[in-house]
Amino acid sequence: MPFIAVDPHDNRPRIPVSVGDDEKVKCPVCNEPLHVRDGPDIARHFYHPPESSCGGESALHLAMKSIAVDKLQQVYPDADVHIEFKTDDVPRRADVFVEFDHPSYPLGKGIAVEVQYRLD
């Protein structure tokens, strides 16, 4: 779920809320077109069309996911920490998900973590 795209005319970074539904932007990783969408239970974000081969994750994004996993395993040693995880309750994929054996207040069944960075 990319949250940064690049304007095809001047290569400036764009965020989903600043892009119209039919506006053209491209992926900063592969330069392929991205589309934008949102919904009542999902943040506005960019996505690759189904025919795209780009995973949309740069080396920096993957490194940050690794850091998140390491830190979450330290903070929650008794929980299961998953990468690229979907729950039965929420059909969207989280970059990292901390799953508890038993729901706990205030975190419930787990914590979904999305790794993001900003291009400057």
- Which residue shows structure tokens 């960075």? 117
Give the mean model confidence (pLDDT) for residues 7-24.
Answer: 90
Give the mean model confidence (pLDDT) for residues 91-106.
Answer: 85
Q: What's the predicted TM-score (pTM) here?
A: 0.54
| pLDDT tens-digit map of 42-91 | 778 888 887 877 766 666 777 888 889 999 999 999 999 988 776 676 66
Residues 27 and 2: beta-carbon distance below 8 Å: yes
The structure tokens listed for 38 are 């949102």
Angle formed at CA 19 by CA 62 and CA 61, multiple of 5 degrees = 5
3-state secondary structure 12-62: CEECHHHCCCCCCEECCCCCCEEEEEEECCEEEEEECCCCCCCCCCCHHHH
Residues 96 and 113: beta-carbon distance below 8 Å: yes
Give the per-residue pLDDT at 41: 72
Sorting pLDDT into bands at 50, 70 and 90, what band is 119?
low
Question: Which amino acid belongs to residue 15?
Answer: I
Give the per-residue pLDDT at 42: 75
Instruction: Kindly report the average pLDDT of the chain as a whole number.
Output: 83
Residues 6+ apart with CB under 8 A from 72: 79, 81, 96, 98, 111, 113
Give the per-residue pLDDT at 70: 92
| pLDDT tens-digit map of 27-53 | 888 888 999 988 887 778 888 887 877
Burial call 4-20: b when 16+ CB within 10 Å, e when fewer? bbbeeeeeeebebeebe
